[in-house]
Amino acid sequence: ACDILRAGANGVGGITPTMKVAARAESFGMDCEVHGNGAASLAVVGAIRNCRWYERGLLHPFLDYDEPAAYLNSIVDPMDDQGFVHLSQ
């Protein structure tokens, strides 16, 4: 038995398959934790009702995630002082 399902757009083939997994979880009264960070995961989190957490990510234990990597202009999911990541409406 399980209480929560975990799926991520980066691992199951994109946004649509992740939405299908989340819908299946919801049909059984379960939450779906969206695994992995980034724009695709944020899109899924914003579109489903049965998600309580967003996995913001960890690049490396010795790297600060709030500073974008050299190949990025900015981070996709900045976090506010209270620990929230806000989605555009």
Using an 8 Å Cβ cutoff, are 4 and 28 in contact?
A: no
Could you give the residue ranges of the DSSP H alpha helices within the chain? 9-12, 15-27, 39-47
Q: Is the residue at 23 inside a domain?
A: yes
Kindly report, residue by residue over 32-67, the tens digit of the pLDDT: 999 888 889 999 999 999 999 888 766 666 766 777
Residue 15's pLDDT band, with cuts at 50, 70 and 90, is very high
Query: Whole-prediction pTM value?
Result: 0.78
How many structural domains does the chain have? 1
Q: Which residues contact 73 (CB under 8 A, 6 or more apart)?
A: none
Q: Is the residue at 88 inside a domain?
A: no
Check whether 11 has a pLDDT greater than 80. Answer: yes
For residue 4, the enclosing domain spans 1-82
Number of H helices, E strands in the chain: 3, 2
